Structure 1
């Protein structure tokens, strides 16, 4: 029985190009280094003494940098090509991580994280375009899932190692690890995905008269819903770790282990789950809506504070929402990008997450400061309901 399950699991990865595997490995190395993110709010609060309100504003600067980087990344990808943009992004992100840890003033932190995330998110549209170029049309959803698996495996393993580094070497070790892994990913990119060595396998034809994404109304409705979905998801990196500490006094190491549950489930279940869902009669937007519902319900579970085990139930529900919602929303965006310039379409796709970064972290921290955690969970569930509505509007216009 176990051998059959293992064979079926391995089978879900068959047929993907070697370039997709290399791109996923580069992404893993990069995201493994993103150890700072889950501990950022705790680091700013406990190590530097930044108040919860000011942490919210620092995260807003972080989000503004994400919007700027996503926009520039989309434009530059169409002008320079995905390879150069990814390389520039990885290199300068690594350099930025190595000096941002020396900044302690509030304004300095706002500016530093703005520039850091601008460089980091500049590469996101390029990664999606590269993945599309290296994937056959019939393999794109599975290729996206493999890339997400690499992202989540890296971001899941990173916090676990990060928690250990904090306990032994302190917070600065995280910034060194982040900077060095970004630089390592850049050198790996130069070695294995140089345009002279890697080949594109996408055979789909892009239209001769491309449509501007700003004029694609169904796509814009989709992006609004996606941005709201991201706003619901992102507090897992800021408000939720503080909730673990404040309500249940969970240590940094155990916060990292809880984040690891998310990564473990994604590694084991996401690829088979996506492969199974592809065989069903649901379309990409319907599956995105299902993912949003799971994510919203995960926060409702946290309203019950009588039992610490509820945090595990919540992270499992959120993980299923992530595994279902994000791969198929990504596939919808890639499919839609064929009617225009891919960099511009995927730039707006990543900007939806960037805008969510501006709003979600600050709103979550401000609501926490003034009204407490329970009001945050209700607010996020309400956003999930609105996100479902915009996804429904998008699907209705395409029907």
Structure 2
């Protein structure tokens, strides 16, 4: 028992106080994450839209996420991560109350798009702030801490959401909106004196503009982002088609669906920090990320091999392990590839890759499920995971080799200084 306690203490040790507070903000925010996991069920069962129509609305959420991620990355570099996060949390929370009253299909599409756009300006700003508050030697663990908080919130949100949905779906929107606003207020009062100077006043004095290249001109990183989008397209079946699969194939109640989805967050919360601490510096990122993608594909293929309630739990366990192996190291690759002057833009492109998957995943998933059945959908996700894993292995390996090569190059002027000394 002492060894286990020591292991946890070492895994969490050395992280800065602002990194902990940022994770607390995300915990408050994600504890109210109830609308998104149940949105497909809400659209099909409460508002009586077809499976394909629900997929279109969910794709509008993804389209808003793409625009929000791009806007958030741009704004972060312009005005700083503090203002972007505060406005995203408070304004986004207010929009849930507006979405609650929408019933017409076109109005729902517009409402979901605007809600997602505002909410997802948070992502690049949040990632940039984590990188700035974390100590250089534990950036990956700082991201893992933040993800741990998000996943703990996600284990609470869907489980509580399932209980509220059994009473009325109205409470999902109210709870989600209130927790966003509360997270925004907590964030404002704690970080208002820690926001620092706008990027132009600090970064340009430290890092030459020549080094601040655009991520869109970085060919290997663009390819990395595309492959991350493929990974996320598979992963986001968790939020779009998987709840429908539970409902239509296994006829599970909202409570049980919420518990299964919450299991993902609970597993990641319990294991991610420990696994990152144990293997993060011992195994190459290319192996970890590629392995995570393959395990993700296996978690969906497993659903086709047998039909039993126990297989749903095993599949969710594998999906959670895949998330732990891939996602924190993908974020670290992005941080290491960027510099101070362009971190917001790099994080913006990285989050755009996930946001784009929010567009593709629900529409593609619901279309395949409606046309060919869920079994075909799960086989397709398995095949895509193999292709994505191979691609990520080689791209990440190249990026890592390039980083090591640049790190070993002599600093300009270093030889002159050495001679002078």
The corresponding residue for 1:193 is 191
- Decide whether aligned partners of structure 1 residues 166 and 395 sit closer, same or farther in structure 2, where only a CA change above 3 A counts: closer
Do the aligned partners of 1:304 and 1:310 also contact (CA within 8 Å) in 2? no
Q: Kindly provide the CA deviation profile for residues 98-153 of structure 1, in whole angstroms up to 9, marking residues without a partner as x.
A: 11011011111100000000000011100001001101110111000000001111
- Shift in Å at residue 199 of structure 1? 6.8
The corresponding residue for 2:351 is 350
- Structure 1 CA distance for aligned equivalents of residues 345 and 271 of structure 2: 32
- Structure 1 CA distance for aligned equivalents of residues 314 and 270 of structure 2: 17
Q: The residue matched to 2:49 in structure 1 has which SS? A: coil
Structure 2: which 5+ runs fail to align? Answer: 402-421
- Structure 2 CA distance for aligned equivalents of residues 184 and 238 of structure 1: 27
Query: 1:77-88 alignment to 2 at 5 Å?
Result: 77-88=76-87
- Structure 1 CA distance for aligned equivalents of residues 90 and 54 of structure 2: 27
- Structure 2 CA distance for aligned equivalents of residues 207 and 293 of structure 1: 40
- Shift in Å at residue 281 of structure 1? 3.5
- Shift in Å at residue 19 of structure 1? 0.4
TM-score between both structures, scaled by the size of structure 2:
0.90
Stretch of structure 1 that moved more, 95-104 or 335-344: 335-344
The corresponding residue for 1:153 is 152
- Residue 11 (1) aligns with residue 10 (2): yes
- Decide whether aligned partners of structure 1 residues 396 and 20 sit closer, same or farther in structure 2, where only a CA change above 3 A counts: closer
The corresponding residue for 2:414 is none
The corresponding residue for 1:66 is 65
The corresponding residue for 1:262 is 264
- Residue 327 (1) aligns with residue 328 (2): yes
TM-score between both structures, scaled by the size of structure 1:
0.95
- Structure 1 CA distance for aligned equivalents of residues 293 and 254 of structure 2: 28
- Structure 1 CA distance for aligned equivalents of residues 97 and 286 of structure 2: 40
- Residue 390 (1) aligns with residue 388 (2): no
Query: 1:247-396 alignment to 2 at 5 Å?
Result: 247-282=249-284, 284-338=285-339, 341-396=342-397
The corresponding residue for 2:410 is none
Q: The residue matched to 1:248 in structure 2 has which SS? A: coil
Query: 1:218-229 alignment to 2 at 5 Å?
Result: 218-229=220-231
- Shift in Å at residue 278 of structure 1? 1.7
- Shift in Å at residue 304 of structure 1? 2.3
Do the aligned partners of 1:66 and 1:357 also contact (CA within 8 Å) in 2? yes
- Shift in Å at residue 307 of structure 1? 1.9
- Structure 2 CA distance for aligned equivalents of residues 281 and 10 of structure 1: 21
The corresponding residue for 2:232 is 230
The corresponding residue for 2:180 is 182
Do the aligned partners of 1:125 and 1:346 also contact (CA within 8 Å) in 2? yes
Q: Kindly provide the CA deviation profile for residues 236-286 of structure 1, in whole angstroms up to 9, marking residues without a partner as x.
A: 11111111111111111011111222122112111110111123141x233
Do the aligned partners of 2:82 and 2:195 also contact (CA within 8 Å) in 1? no
Which is greater in Rg? 2
- Structure 2 CA distance for aligned equivalents of residues 339 and 23 of structure 1: 19
The corresponding residue for 1:240 is 242
Query: 1:63-142 alignment to 2 at 5 Å?
Result: 63-142=62-141
Q: The residue matched to 1:309 in structure 2 has which SS? A: helix
Do the aligned partners of 1:64 and 1:114 also contact (CA within 8 Å) in 2? yes
Count, aligned residues:
393
Do the aligned partners of 1:71 and 1:122 also contact (CA within 8 Å) in 2? yes
In angstroms, what is the RMSD of aligned CA positions? 1.7
Do the aligned partners of 1:214 and 1:220 also contact (CA within 8 Å) in 2? yes
Q: Kindly provide the CA deviation profile for residues 158-204 of structure 1, in whole angstroms up to 9, marking residues without a partner as x.
A: 01111111123x0000100011111101100111111x24679xx99
Structure 1: which 5+ runs fail to align? Answer: none
Q: Kindly provide the CA deviation profile for residues 51-105 of structure 1, in whole angstroms up to 9, marking residues without a partner as x.
A: 1010111011111100100010010000000000001111110110011011011
- Structure 1 CA distance for aligned equivalents of residues 42 and 306 of structure 2: 25
Q: Kindly provide the CA deviation profile for residues 6-25 of structure 1, in whole angstroms up to 9, marking residues without a partner as x.
A: 22112211111110011000
- Structure 2 CA distance for aligned equivalents of residues 184 and 396 of structure 1: 41
Do the aligned partners of 1:225 and 1:386 also contact (CA within 8 Å) in 2? no
- Structure 2 CA distance for aligned equivalents of residues 182 and 322 of structure 1: 24
